[in-house]
Structure 1
Amino acid sequence: MTSLDDLPLRDDLRGREPYGAPQLDVPVALNTNENPYPPSERLVKALGEAVMDVAGSLNRYPDRDAAALRADLAAFLCADTPGAGLTGRNVWAANGSNEIIQQILQAFGGHGRTALGFEPSYSMHPTITRVTGTGWIDAHRAEDFGLEPERAVAAIEEHRPDVVFLTSPNNPTGTALPLDAIEAALDAAPGMVVVDEAYGEFRRAGTPSALSLLPGNPRLIVTRTMSKAFAMAGTRLGYLAADPAVVDALLLVRLPYHLSAVTQAVARTAVAHGEELLGTVDALRRERDALVAWLRGEGLTVADSDANFVLFGTFPDRRRVWEGLLERGVLIREVGPPEWLRVSVGTPAETAAFRTALKEIL
């Protein structure tokens, strides 16, 4: 049989593993940070009607600029962060936030350029960076997974990267960044600064969004997704907010008609029903905070979380704990620093099953 060794694959891709969390059929899946609450019957009906409305014209290409969707997303972000002053010209959308990241690197990275991130952080940042031919620089967070302004500035001044990735709340640690760390990075960075806010809607009260820094900062990009708080992971819709000139740059690298008519219709319907979809966020926050308290009560170390997941440890043999949970029908994520595990916040019943299984193992 033909193998990769027999194909003229790029040398820098040889030996790499494709990204992917385990997809296993288990009673309790708490490994991919999805919102566990499915759409209501009312929303399912609205989504079906939206798809039917565009089904008769699927022989035609969709709006290649997704103008109506971008205007809807801008209005949502303005409600999230009053004063951001966003319009559809400030927003760009693609197939998941990963395609957004890829387009950013295609426009501002590439051969001879570098991107820098503070790890542990989202594993797709270095993966997509390398796939676009951009060099990756691994800077590090503090032991508590925070990122002080001084640490950020020192790494940026040392390496002078073309793109800086800041993740807030951070994945897999759940740690949110203070605005002064982002402002310090902006002041020091010679290129673009990308703040990945995939879990931004879950941040605790009083934790600001980097959206508030957009006015007057044309090199700042804030990315979001509908996969998490919006409970629309299957839609594959990511988006960003930035200066309109950034959107003009991404137009140079986007594929023609990259967002299907169905994706645009479903995403617009989801935004229109945002109050319902985001209505579960407060419940998930409470469940998260209760889970953090319970894990600490069991004598475990837990990172402060502003997301819908919790990083906990430490285990000399985390694989044994992970496998023990799986044997009991609970799937979590073996990710992050070597002695840590990450669990997504589920429904109360799912979280209870996790607690029961973990207590048996401990």
Structure 2
Amino acid sequence: MSGASIADLLRADLRGMTAYGAPQLEVPVALNTNENSYPVPAVVVDAIVAAVAEVAPSLNRYPDREFTRLREALAEYLSRGGTPISAEQVWAANGSNEVLQHLLQAFGGHGRTAMGFTPAYSMHSIITATTGTRWVDGLRAKGGEAPFALDVEAAVAQVREHQPHVVFLCSPNNPTGTALGLDVVEAVHDAAENAIIVVDEAYEEFARAGTPSALTLLAGRPRIVVTRTMSKAFAFAGGRLGYLAADPAVTDALRLVRLPYHLSAPTQAIALATLRHAPAMLETVDVIREQRDRIVEETRRLGFAPVPSDANFVLVGGFADSDEAWRALLEKGVLVRDNGLPHYLRVTAGTPDETTAFLDALSEIAPQHRQESTS
């Protein structure tokens, strides 16, 4: 007898779900996953190679379970922004997605609810589901002068209605690129008295001058957590290192759910080497910002409707059919992201040459794929 099928054995709440996966295609210009288009500088490559060589002979031993030196280095980096952060406040994992998973394992689960304000980072809801936590879609504004905005009144009303245990706030938001006012974070924190408030700041280094970080709200608010990543501004997507800053009680709670020795010795070594060269790794941030703003300006000139962005990407509206436009751009060797928002495509700000290739391709397809109302 063959017994039950795998589909029948799968958890009921996971049946019918689709795995996360942005297309990984070989194209001349890949601008779909918000990676940093610039390679790791040679001086940092040399430091990484030396760091791995140093730890390689001791790979017969488990790594530092508490990744102490790495937490100290991350705390030092965060403190450069003007808000003192201690190593006891820092947690890290294999990418920010694993950090989010730890948070949901600790504070979500069966019988608990998490919510976010969509459109936002799709992995918030996916990871929520995989931990057996109920997900609630909060809503953002539609249209108007500030599309996809989230104001205090709307956020507080929705939080009070659903009484979540975990709330996700994304700033700058993915896929819209919009930054969130700290008044919204404070108001949600005060309204959701029984919730952990997770402020996802994966793209914070790209924010325009004067955009405040939720790190400034941590003191006296032990339920606020700020998550970051080295994948974007640090050009470290392949290194898989995400982290957070929070009250030490939060990091203590995460020790209950992390797997033993979850950060390998090579991962810790290369992350430390990279952080020691933070200025070199962040040298491309300004030029990426310039290309982001160039995309906003030029797509608007072409008759589209870009959303002003504080991230390293731009959500461009005004397509008659976003799926058809995505395919038309792909035929010209330019891969962007279709997030499922009608009439919108998201494009990463790459190198000047990549931006030019995107804009040239968009200019060619614009007459056939632009909404008449935006022309």
- Asked if these proteins are the same fold (TM beyond 0.5), I'd say yes
Question: 1:41: how far off?
Answer: 1.5
Question: 1:72: how far off?
Answer: 0.3
CA distance in 2, matches of 1:332, 1:2: 44
User: Which of 270, 273, 276 is matched with 2:274 structurally?
Assistant: 270
In the alignment, structure 1 residue 164 sits paired with structure 2 residue 196: no
Provide the residue aligned with 1:142 in structure 2. Answer: 141
Please tell me whether the aligned partners of residues 120 and 336 of structure 1 are also in contact (alpha carbons under 8 angstroms).
no
Shift of the 3–237 alpha-carbon distance from structure 1 to 2, 3 Å rule, reads: farther
Question: 1:40: how far off?
Answer: 1.6
CA distance in 1, matches of 2:278, 2:127: 30
Amino acid at match of 1:124: M
Provide the residue aligned with 1:350 in structure 2. Answer: 354
**For residues 260-310 of structure 1, what are the alpha-carbon distances to aligned partners after superposition, in whole Å with 9 as ceiling and x for unaligned?**
000000001111100001111011111111110111111111111000000
Please tell me whether the aligned partners of residues 149 and 180 of structure 1 are also in contact (alpha carbons under 8 angstroms).
yes
Provide the residue aligned with 2:371 in structure 1. Answer: none
TM-score normalised per structure 2? 0.94
In the alignment, structure 1 residue 308 sits paired with structure 2 residue 312: yes
Percent identity between matched residues is 60
Shift of the 4–351 alpha-carbon distance from structure 1 to 2, 3 Å rule, reads: farther
Provide the residue aligned with 2:263 in structure 1. Answer: 259
Provide the residue aligned with 2:226 in structure 1. Answer: 222
In the alignment, structure 1 residue 186 sits paired with structure 2 residue 198: no
Provide the residue aligned with 1:47 in structure 2. Answer: 48
Provide the residue aligned with 2:11 in structure 1. Answer: 10
**For residues 179-235 of structure 1, what are the alpha-carbon distances to aligned partners after superposition, in whole Å with 9 as ceiling and x for unaligned?**
111111111112100000000100000000000101110000000000000000000
Question: 1:75: how far off?
Answer: 0.5
**For residues 58-102 of structure 1, what are the alpha-carbon distances to aligned partners after superposition, in whole Å with 9 as ceiling and x for unaligned?**
01000011110001000000102x1x2211100000000000000
Amino acid at match of 2:100: I
Provide the residue aligned with 2:179 in structure 1. Answer: 176
Helix, strand or coil at the partner of 1:195: strand
Provide the residue aligned with 2:91 in structure 1. Answer: 92
Please tell me whether the aligned partners of residues 97 and 237 of structure 1 are also in contact (alpha carbons under 8 angstroms).
yes
TM-score normalised per structure 1? 0.97
Question: 1:314: how far off?
Answer: 2.2
Shift of the 271–12 alpha-carbon distance from structure 1 to 2, 3 Å rule, reads: same
Question: 1:336: how far off?
Answer: 4.5
CA distance in 1, matches of 2:258, 2:334: 39
In the alignment, structure 1 residue 299 sits paired with structure 2 residue 299: no
Please tell me whether the aligned partners of residues 121 and 173 of structure 2 are also in contact (alpha carbons under 8 angstroms).
yes
Question: 5+ residue gaps in structure 1?
Answer: none
> What is the RMSD of the two structures over their aligned residues, measured on CA atoms?
1.4
Amino acid at match of 2:135: W
Provide the residue aligned with 1:282 in structure 2. Answer: 286
CA distance in 1, matches of 2:215, 2:325: 39
Provide the residue aligned with 1:101 in structure 2. Answer: 100
Residues 22-41 of structure 1: pairs in structure 2 closer than 5 A: 22-41=23-42
Amino acid at match of 1:267: A
**For residues 125-157 of structure 1, what are the alpha-carbon distances to aligned partners after superposition, in whole Å with 9 as ceiling and x for unaligned?**
000001100000001111211110111100111
Amino acid at match of 1:194: V
Please tell me whether the aligned partners of residues 107 and 250 of structure 1 are also in contact (alpha carbons under 8 angstroms).
yes
Shift of the 296–135 alpha-carbon distance from structure 1 to 2, 3 Å rule, reads: same
**For residues 27-71 of structure 1, what are the alpha-carbon distances to aligned partners after superposition, in whole Å with 9 as ceiling and x for unaligned?**
100000001111122111111000000001001000011110001
Shift of the 305–60 alpha-carbon distance from structure 1 to 2, 3 Å rule, reads: same
CA distance in 2, matches of 1:230, 1:326: 27
**For residues 318-345 of structure 1, what are the alpha-carbon distances to aligned partners after superposition, in whole Å with 9 as ceiling and x for unaligned?**
1111011111111000015222100000
CA distance in 2, matches of 1:47, 1:268: 9
Shift of the 4–222 alpha-carbon distance from structure 1 to 2, 3 Å rule, reads: farther
CA distance in 2, matches of 1:3, 1:332: 41
Helix, strand or coil at the partner of 1:263: helix
Shift of the 348–131 alpha-carbon distance from structure 1 to 2, 3 Å rule, reads: same
Question: 5+ residue gaps in structure 2?
Answer: 367-375
**For residues 156-182 of structure 1, what are the alpha-carbon distances to aligned partners after superposition, in whole Å with 9 as ceiling and x for unaligned?**
111110000000000000000011111
CA distance in 2, matches of 1:281, 1:85: 23
Please tell me whether the aligned partners of residues 307 and 315 of structure 2 are also in contact (alpha carbons under 8 angstroms).
yes
Please tell me whether the aligned partners of residues 51 and 262 of structure 1 are also in contact (alpha carbons under 8 angstroms).
yes
Provide the residue aligned with 1:122 in structure 2. Answer: 121
Please tell me whether the aligned partners of residues 156 and 185 of structure 1 are also in contact (alpha carbons under 8 angstroms).
yes
CA distance in 2, matches of 1:104, 1:173: 24
Helix, strand or coil at the partner of 2:345: strand
4+ runs deviating over 3 angstroms: 1-7
CA distance in 2, matches of 1:17, 1:231: 28
Amino acid at match of 1:21: A
CA distance in 1, matches of 2:191, 2:243: 25
Aligned length: 360
Question: 1:316: how far off?
Answer: 2.7
Please tell me whether the aligned partners of residues 7 and 15 of structure 2 are also in contact (alpha carbons under 8 angstroms).
no
In the alignment, structure 1 residue 328 sits paired with structure 2 residue 329: no
